[in-house]
Each structure stands twice: as C-alpha cells, then as structure tokens.
C-alpha cells in the first residue's frame, strides 16, 4: 500500500441499503477526513478524525457515520442510503490536525437508485 486506498472504486446501491466505504492509509497520519464531491459544489466535509479514537462532524454529516478504531482505517457508513447521497466520495489524511496539506485517496463513485 502506498498512500491512501479506498474501496470500492464504484458502487451502485439500492435506496435503503446499508453501505460502508473503506479507507486505509499507510502514512501514519493522525488526521483523516471524508468528503463528498458533487458537480458545481466542490468538496464538502462529511466527518473527520483528528486522531484515533476521536471523530467530529463536518459540513454535511447527516445520514453518515464514521469510526476510527486505529490510525490507519477510517470507514464511512451510510446506514440507509438515499438517492441524494449519490456522489463521489474522497477520503483524505494529513500529518497534523492543522489540515492545510491533505493527501487524497482515488475516490469512490457511489450511485444510489
């Protein structure tokens, strides 16, 4: 593994289903983030974690949950997917809780029907 990996690369999901997007980093960064990117809206922060064992809400947290059991993994869960959650999801990490330089994963393209 080099950097940040995300899985799956893409997914089509029926509304109402539960889905977990996976994110793993091997850079030993303390902070990790989940963003969604929609056309014309840029990147919006969903949840973040400044260190293992802690999480916080971003700009658009509703309908999503996260956990940070260890330094490397930061999964994002959609408990009951809705079509408005169709988006491209990016996981990112940074070396410190001051997040000006973030390293992004390749993204997961999620379609909720």
Site for other proteins in 38-97 (CB under 8 A): 40-45, 48, 58-59, 90, 92, 97
26 touches other proteins (CB under 8 A): no
Q: Which stretch binds other proteins (CB under 8 A): 8-16, 18-26, 62-70, 99-107?
A: 99-107
Cα 69–chain centre separation: 15
Q: Is 28 in the site for other proteins (CB under 8 A)?
A: no
Query: How many residues touch other proteins (CB under 8 A)?
Result: 24
For every residue of 51-109, DSSP letters joined together read: STT--EE-SS-TTEEE--SSSSB--EEESS--GGG-EEEEEEEESSSS-SS-EE---EE
CA distances from 46 to 2, 49, 74, 91, 108 (A): 24, 11, 12, 10, 14
Where do we find the tokens 């379609």?
111
Question: Using the rule CB under 8 A, is 1 a contact of other proteins?
Answer: no
Q: Does 7 bind other proteins (CB under 8 A)?
A: no
* Shortest CB 48 distance to other proteins, Å: 6
Residues that bind other proteins (CB under 8 A): 33, 35, 40-45, 48, 58-59, 90, 92, 97-107
């Amino acid at each position: 593994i080099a950097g940040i990996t995300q899985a799956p690369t893409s997914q089509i999901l029926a509304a109402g289903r539960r889905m977990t997007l996976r994110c793993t980093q091997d850079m030993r960064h303390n902070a990790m983030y989940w963003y969604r990117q929609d056309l014309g809206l840029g990147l919006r922060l969903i949840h973040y974690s400044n260190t293992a064992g802690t999480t916080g809400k971003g700009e658009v947290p509703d309908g999503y949950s996260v956990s940070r059991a260890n330094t490397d993994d930061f999964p994002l869960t959609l408990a009951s997917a809705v079509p408005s959650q169709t988006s491209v999801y990016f996981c990112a990490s940074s070396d410190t809780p001051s997040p000006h330089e973030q390293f992004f994963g390749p993204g997961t393209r999620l379609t909720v029907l």
